[in-house]
Amino acid sequence: MESEKNVCNDKSFLPNNPILDKPPGNCEGPELNLKNPNTEDLSWLNDKSFKKTGLGAGANCDPMQTGQIVQDSNNPDTQTVYRYSKAKRGCDEAMIDLFRNVIVIDENAKTFPVPIIWGTQEKAVAAILQENLVKDETLVVNRIRLPFMAIVDNGYAFNTNRYVYHKAIDYMRDPALGNKPGFTTSEKYERDTIFGVARGIPIDINYTLTIWTLYLEDMNQIFEQIITKFSQTAYIRVTGVPWEVIVKLDSISNNLDAEPGDQAIRIIKYEFGFTTESFIPQPIVRKKAILKTKIDIVDGLNENDISKVMLKIEEAVKELKC
């Protein structure tokens, strides 16, 4: 009895190269023959010199990955818009603004805003003390300005779990416009140029918020205001980042001392650790929109018909240029 064979599925329907989104080709280097990647260059085998430079060159020619923040004036790319997005600066400002409305209430029900600055603990201590010193050489402090807050970033991380390939372009289609691209401009005709944006480079930025108070009641009030901002995440907005940017509360620590001593001034300090899941915007893709189409339906084409069709196409192109 003939044994059964494991017959594979017919793959004849697959294209010759199933990779539809091919990576960009290699760049032409100063000493490298990379114009045709399919041609193997073995000239280096005949090089008997001992040169130590000119042996490598960058080969990342994707315009979205050049790392530029300004357009190259010598070789401008009309399909890519480069700019300095200031996304990191915007994220820092948003984190300060997130805690700008913190207050404390005294025994007379009067509210006092708690100031916040951008800086390390050392910079915060200097800001607290520098305007309170007696104008002599004793460096005596009249009073300590507390409560006080300071926030600073202390690390970045590339988040691969949130990464989306930059070929996935979003043209900001608006349902109110019939699902047409919403990010457009009018260079010659109305909405004749459309722009698309990629997801961007996902980065996690770590921040540390430090709080100093003289009284535990002040710290309790500040703690309650901060903790209620996170359930479980808080949200910030950054110019140039159209995606949701969230802030996660990672840790809370304190230096509470039950017995500070008779001579020491008890300073209560809390530290909050946050992670902001933001994006670094990539270059903007610029495309020309199709504003008008003409369709001719014919039964067949001969040489004369082809000439007529070509003439109509040329006239249509001239009409669009006017």
What pLDDT score was predicted for residue 159? 95
pLDDT by residue, tens only, the chain of 322 residues:
444 544 444 444 445 555 556 666 656 655 444 455 555 566 666 666 667 777 777 777 888 998 899 988 888 888 999 999 999 999 999 999 999 999 999 888 889 899 999 988 777 776 666 665 555 665 555 555 788 999 999 999 999 999 999 999 999 888 887 888 888 999 888 888 999 999 999 999 999 999 999 888 999 999 999 999 998 899 999 999 999 999 999 999 987 766 655 555 678 899 999 999 999 999 999 998 887 777 767 666 677 777 777 787 777 777 666 5
Segments making up each domain of the chain, as ranges = 87-284, 294-321
Whether 281 and 80 have beta carbons less than 8 Å apart is answered as no
CATH topology of domain 87-284: STM4215-like (3.30.2000)
What pLDDT score was predicted for residue 189? 84
What pLDDT score was predicted for residue 40? 58
